[in-house]
């Protein structure tokens, strides 16, 4: 084998090795890109839910009417969400005994049905798996023109909606033109609880999943047309009460600054008296 042929074979081998290296690098790049891109499309079901923190405020009147002149619902957390293709405004607040939720949306007159309803299916926890949703509160219209409605309280057993033996909470609604307003109140930390465990017992400091629903026919759950799950955190009652140390610190500040003020006044008084004494000596 002469030198020319040897160099040619060396070049071929080198080129083959280079191609293999390039091929391996390309494979690595493709794999890495696939991994990076796919990570953006892996759904995080829990993370997709809107998380809402309830705020303490003055309890509203549950009558389907929001009195803006008296700042009703003024302290509520207000969040826009989508019920399918229906945009709604969701307001959440609480006091020491109840959680309050208001749902408002607009529909053209022809789109409002006489048997329109809005409901909340409440999970026993922050879990959104179907088995955890055990409690249902519904405001059901029977005649939109005269604003006739009823409040319904159900419990869920094997996907079947069953009437509670005792209603727990309140609900009201009003349709005015294109505007629909629904209001609910649900007890928090109800003393004694529900003997038959027909309601989800809400507790301070915990997060719960609420499935907000809209429908047009009084059949449950078959009549539900649109829904969206949100996660609501009920604030701890202790948050509204200032810590004891803060109160003590506040009182100490008042006492200390009062003493300093008295001492400063006494100091000014002594200066004036000294000035008068010096003037008398000069005379």
Residues 14 and 75 placed together within one structural domain of the fold: no
pLDDT the model gives residue 26: 46
pLDDT in tens, the chain (283 residues): 555 555 554 544 444 444 444 445 445 444 454 443 333 333 333 446 789 999 999 999 999 999 989 999 999 999 999 998 999 999 999 999 999 999 999 988 778 888 999 999 999 999 999 999 999 999 999 998 899 999 999 999 998 999 999 899 999 999 998 999 999 999 998 755 555 578 999 999 999 999 999 999 999 999 999 999 999 999 998 654 556 677 777 788 888 878 877 876 766 766 776 777 777 776 6
Rg (CA), the chain: 34
User: CATH number for the domain including 200?
Assistant: 2.60.40.1190
Q: Which residues constitute the domain of residue 253?
A: 244-283
Residues 249 and 236 placed together within one structural domain of the fold: no
pLDDT the model gives residue 260: 77
Beta bridge partners of 76: none
Residues 127 and 263 placed together within one structural domain of the fold: no
Nearest CA-CA partner of 52 in 97, 116, 103:
103
- pTM, entire model: 0.67
Residues 262 and 133 placed together within one structural domain of the fold: no
Residues 154 and 213 placed together within one structural domain of the fold: yes
Residues 228 and 136 placed together within one structural domain of the fold: yes
Number of domains within the chain: 3
Residues 232 and 249 placed together within one structural domain of the fold: no
3-state helix, strand, coil in the chain (%, to 5): 35, 35, 30
pLDDT the model gives residue 257: 78
Residues 53 and 150 placed together within one structural domain of the fold: yes
pLDDT the model gives residue 53: 95
Residues 1 and 60 placed together within one structural domain of the fold: no
Residues 166 and 260 placed together within one structural domain of the fold: no
Ranges of H-type helices in the chain: 3-41, 244-282
58 touches 95 (CB < 8 A): yes
Residues 223 and 183 placed together within one structural domain of the fold: yes
Q: Spell out the residues 6+ positions from residue 194 whose beta carbon is closer than 8 angstroms to its own.
A: 166, 168, 201
User: Does residue 84 sit in helix, strand or coil?
Assistant: coil
């Amino acid at each position: 084998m002469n030198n020319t042929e040897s160099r040619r074979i060396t070049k071929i081998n080198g080129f083959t090795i280079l191609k293999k290296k390039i091929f391996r690098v390309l494979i690595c790049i493709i794999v890495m890109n696939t991994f990076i891109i796919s990570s953006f499309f892996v759904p995080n079901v829990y993370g997709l839910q809107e998380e809402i923190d309830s705020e303490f405020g003055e309890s509203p009147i549950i009558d389907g009417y929001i009195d803006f002149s008296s700042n009703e619902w003024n302290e509520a957390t207000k969040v826009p969400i989508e019920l399918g293709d229906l945009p709604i405004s969701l307001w959440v607040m609480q006091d020491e005994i109840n959680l309050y939720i208001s749902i408002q949306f607009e529909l053209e007159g022809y789109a409002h049905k006489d048997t329109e309803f809005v409901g909340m299916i409440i999970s026993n926890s922050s879990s959104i798996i179907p088995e955890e949703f055990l409690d249902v509160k519904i405001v059901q219209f029977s005649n939109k023109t005269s604003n006739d409605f009823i409040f319904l309280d159900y419990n869920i057993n094997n996907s079947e909606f069953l009437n509670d033996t005792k209603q727990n909470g309140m609900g009201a609604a009003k349709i005015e033109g294109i505007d629909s307003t629904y209001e609910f109140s649900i007890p928090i930390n109800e003393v004694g609880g529900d003997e038959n465990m027909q309601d989800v017992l809400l507790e301070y400091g915990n997060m719960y999943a609420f499935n907000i629903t809209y429908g047009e026919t009084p059949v449950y759950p078959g009549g539900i047309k649109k829904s969206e799950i949100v996660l609501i955190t009920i604030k701890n009652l202790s948050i509204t009460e200032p810590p004891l140390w803060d109160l003590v610190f506040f009182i100490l500040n008042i006492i200390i600054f009062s003493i300093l003020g008295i001492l400063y006044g006494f100091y000014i008084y002594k200066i004036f008296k000294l000035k008068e004494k010096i003037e008398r000596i000069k005379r």
